[in-house]
Amino acid sequence: MSYESNAILEKLPEHLKQFIKPQDYADYTAIDQAVWRYVMRKNVDYLSTVAHSSYVDGLRKTGISIDHIPNMYGMNRILQEIGWAAVAVDGFIPPSAFMEFQAYNVLVIASDIRQLEHIEYTPAPDIIHEGAGHAPIIANPEYAEYLRRFGEIGCKAISSAKDFELYETVRHLSIIKEASGTPEKEIEKAEKHIEQLQNTMGEPSEMALIRNLHWWTVEYGLIGTVENPKIYGAGLLSSIGESAWCMTDKVKKIPYSIEAAHTSFDITKPQPQLFVTPDFAFLSQVLEEFANTMAVRKGGLSGIQKLIQSKKLGTIELSTGLQVSGNFSQVIDFEGKPVFFQTTGATALSFREKELVGHSAQHHYDGFGSPMGKLKGINLAIEDMSPRDLKAYNIFEGQTITLEFLGGIKICGEIITGTRNLKGEIILITFRNCTVTHQKKVLFKSDERLYNMAVGEHILSAFNGPADLNSFDLINHEISSTTSKTEMSSERKKLENYYRQVREFREGINTTISRHKVFEQIAKEFPNDWLLSVELYELAKTNGDTDFALEIATHLETVKQHNPKLGHLIDDGLGLVDAHLVSN
């Protein structure tokens, strides 16, 4: 694994670096380059009038070329100037990882490119969507900060077990839909599976809700007024079909609000409605409003219950600042408040995102459980007790005591020591010969091992992932060799060769080829191919060969008759050439 790094990428944790996939620029074919060039020429021409003003300026600032698929490393060097970086990743990556990259000011770019057959839109992440859609707009500082903040909050969102199943299914669909030769029945089966999952997701998780916000802003956002919106969402900026479709009255425009979090989307179809934000500052306002509903800020019983339901590694932070990271499996509550929690398997304890010495996942290898809250009959929480208070209640080293918490949790044992935070507050009490019970049921009984009781009156925060990233081995992703490419047929190789010859002629690499002969071969051997003929039409027009241009245009009319769905693509391609010549 090798990729060109910089100061921003050096700050990435190892578990994010596992998704980085070197961009092999030599893999891009002449057809790929032609697809990029067509989309970019059409987009820049059209989007200059309907996109947010930051878009065209951002193309220049981020080094996005109209004529060539961007080289990730060159683009990365330019992005550094605006405080960002770019990396190629392995297609769809888990939503939490995608957002965490954003939190580090890193733009993730799927290095594959859509097929010619899907030139207008693809559900698969590709370099047109990521490079031509996301990169230019982050040159706007206010939007870039929104994106970073979104990632910072989004990666803390708690997911459900079904979220991951849906993610895997969508990833599968995106791969087979872009793979050449996939039977239509297989695609329909995958789409039906996604539909079934979406209909049985149940109560949406935090991750599902914040992904909705991401979709309706970062991917498919409009800005301005409902009557006169501009495009800033990357999904629209990179789709020559939807960027035009979304500006028609057929797409409903709705003022952006937190309600967007509860509006689901279908990644496989054009969107029937879009949200319009008045400005980028309002995006951040709604994001913070949503964050106030998340467990990372609310904590409490509902927070730990979300972690239990997620069945994934998560963290709770107690009111003392003690952070417990692991797979939460149980919570006992009393009068709506948690009074005992339990994890299963490796668990680590931290304070301010730094693991406590002696409390690693190797130390707490079989889980961690602890009572919490206030002691029965005592109005003062343990964390608020001064040394004098602790002594008065016999909570100090060498004492064998019984502590009874509200909710019926009892802990009996000999106190060995206490661990304090930077404020001097007790955050852990260590016992020997300890038994923890709930209404006579034994929850824990120590034999030779010491028992550590967490001190905390309530749960301040609950969030996805560990407090200290170094506490757990988070490396579990295997890079796939490719997301869509298959063995190229001999016919495809021949077509690729024609595209290469025309590209080399246009770029002055080889001007000895006969464009007329290439056109004759294309018309004869690949009568349904249209894009190369459009490129030949451009060369004919540029060189003043009117008769040749007319011959090509006549051929393209025949292609349109046999393939009506290609008509607007061909007309747009020819129109761009003619308009460019007139303007010059």
What's the rounded Cα separation, in Å, for the pair 439 and 406? 11
Encode the chain (584 residues) as per-residue pLDDT tens digits. 455 667 888 889 999 999 988 888 899 999 999 999 999 998 888 888 999 999 988 887 887 889 999 888 777 777 888 889 988 887 778 889 999 999 999 998 888 888 898 888 777 778 888 778 888 898 899 999 999 999 999 999 999 888 888 878 877 887 777 677 788 899 889 888 888 887 787 789 999 999 999 999 999 999 999 999 999 999 899 887 888 899 999 999 999 999 999 998 877 678 899 999 999 999 999 999 999 999 999 999 999 999 999 999 999 999 999 999 999 999 999 999 999 999 999 999 999 999 999 999 999 999 999 999 999 999 999 999 998 999 999 999 999 999 999 999 999 999 999 999 888 889 999 999 999 999 989 999 987 789 999 999 999 999 999 999 999 999 887 766 544 455 778 999 999 999 999 999 999 999 999 999 999 999 999 999 999 999 999 999 999 999 999 999 999 999 999 999 999 999 999 999 998 776 65
**Tally of residues, the chain:** 584
Structure token pair of residue 288: 């913070």
Helix (H, G, I), strand (E, B) or coil at 574: helix
Q: Is the distance from CB of 397 to CB of 414 less than 8 angstroms?
A: no
Q: Is 318 left (phi over 0), alpha (psi -120 to 50) or beta?
A: beta
CB 261 within 8 A of CB 283: no
Q: Name the one residue in this structure whose structure tokens are 């290095």.
A: 111
- At what angle are helices 54-61 and 30-50 packed, to 10 degrees? 140
Q: Which two tokens stand for residue 15?
A: 């578990």
Query: Contacts by 72-79 with C-beta closer than 8 Å and gap 24+?
Result: 72/3, 72/4, 72/23, 72/109, 72/111, 73/3, 73/4, 73/23, 75/131, 75/135, 76/4, 76/6, 76/9, 77/6, 79/107, 79/135
pTM: 0.88
Number of Cβ within 10 Å of residue 491's Cβ equals 10
Helix and strand element counts for the chain (H, E): 23, 17
- Can you tell me the distance from the alpha carbon of 371 to that of 420, in angstroms, rounded to the nearest whole number? 18
Contacts of 288 (CB under 8 A, 6+ apart): none
Rg (CA), the chain: 29
Element (H, E) at 106: strand 106-110
CB atoms within 10 A of CB 263: 16
Separation of alpha carbons 20 and 14, rounded Å:
10
DSSP 268: T
Residue 262, SS3 per DSSP = helix
Name the DSSP letter for residue 67: S
